Amino acid sequence: MTHPKRLGTVALIVALTGIAHTSVALAAASGNGNAFGLHKTTTTTSTSTTSTSSTSTIKTTTTLPTTTTTVSTTTTTQSTTSSTTTTTTSTSTSSSTTTTITTTTTSSTTSSTTTTTTSSTTTTTSIPSCLDRSGPLITLTGTWATSYDNRALLNLTRLDARQATFLPSLTNLYPVNLGGGSVICVSGGVELGQYDRSLTWDQIHTLNNAGFRFENPYLTVENIRIDNVGDGIRPIAGPFTIRGAWLTYVRDDCVENDHVQPGLIDDSLFDGCYVGISERPSTAIIASGYDGRNDLLTIRQSLIRLQPMPGPRGGLATDLGNGQFFKWSSLATQLELDDNVFMAEQVGEGGASTMGIPASLVGCSNNVMVWLGPGPYPAPLPPCFTVTTDRAVWDSAVAAWKTRHGVVP
């Protein structure tokens, strides 16, 4: 289904950010933001050849981005009465490539040898990030126990946080808090929440904290890693782009879009949310005139898992529970879902009726819902969803995402 406003919004985001969509790469949760951001695509070709009386094995290992070639050989010999064998091994080494070639040649008076060689070539290439465009550059490094709060960013500012680690805590509720100009790029950054992981939903919600908050129209945040916060990413202005984000143990909303802004969530892994996406404006936000009904939020090629957490809303501190994928309102944006994988282990604290897809859905294709609870999935889903009870579908999707993004196991 085509949404009348979608094409204009997406075209404007692409024109301003200059970023082509593809798979992005991230790093493991070690706290090193520099490990994020390798974008790659893979192409594989195969050829077969036949020769006689030789066995060759060539193995080349290179540093990404590069091309890796492997040639393997199988040899069959029959009716050998006498033979002479010569083996030569040579090794060459460069700064990024080590190659070992071993060749064995056999001659015999009566022999029949067939060698089949299969070659596979893998090509890895990089694509630009929003840091590659022009504009003022701010570089953040080191560990930040206090907030990086900058509400005076100039238009087109690029904020390079790939070597920065932020520590959200009771005294650092908004570790990254941005405002000012528009068309902002934020790349990288690791946030390691210092909150007690046993806090209940009410305790963490009362703190009203968020890992990444921004007021800038046309902001792109890419390759950010966030763990153990109240809300993960909180847009106040839009349109926005969230690309290649990896969020875990988010105690409330992975994305709190309660100001109902248009945007794009692309190629991201939300592996542990109490609520996936929130678009439920408060009374104060509604009174300020925010209304998303004519705007569009697109989520594509992303993974979203609801995680049962201590002390869910309305439950006991000893309970484990979660919310829903979409916490929506009548003022929420229109929604498009393409090529995503969702997973839930149990019904949300709001009941079965909250586990469905918002009525504002205007575009939808090729989504998977992994359901691990009892019985059938608790809410109706549109035909663009396939439901499975196989946990391996989620695990495989996560493993593929991490491999694609360069995450070390």
Q: What is the pLDDT of residue 25?
A: 35
pLDDT in tens, 31-45: 344 445 554 433 333
Q: Write down the pLDDT at residue 127.
A: 57
| pLDDT at 128 (0 to 100) | 74
Q: Would the pLDDT of 312 be above 70?
A: yes
Are residues 30 and 91 both part of a single domain? no
Q: Which of 37-41, 161-165, 293-297 has the lowest mean pLDDT?
A: 37-41
Domain annotation covers residue 255: yes
**What does the pLDDT read at residue 216?**
98
191, 241: one domain:
yes
* Count of structural domains, the chain: 2
- 370 shares its domain with 309: yes
Residues 300 and 153 in one domain: yes
pLDDT at 408: 77
- Is the pLDDT higher at 109 or at 267? 267
pLDDT bin (cut points 50, 70, 90) of residue 126 is low
Q: Are residues 385 and 289 in the same domain?
A: yes
Average pLDDT of the chain is 78
Is there a domain that residue 80 lies in? no
pLDDT at 28 over 50: no
pLDDT digits (tens, 9 = 90+) for 327-353: 999 999 999 999 999 999 999 999 999
Residue 391 inside a domain? The answer is: yes
My answer on whether 59 and 151 are in the same domain is no
| Shared domain check, 193 and 106 | no
Residue 5 has pLDDT above 50, yes or no: no
Same domain, 117 and 228: no
Structure-token pair, residue 138? 């701010």
Among 12-16, 58-62, 124-128, 206-210, the minimum mean pLDDT is found in 58-62
81 domain residue, yes or no: no
Dihedral angle of Cα 400, 405, 408, 409, to the nearest 10 degrees: -20
User: Residue 111's domain spans which residues?
Assistant: 43-75+87-124
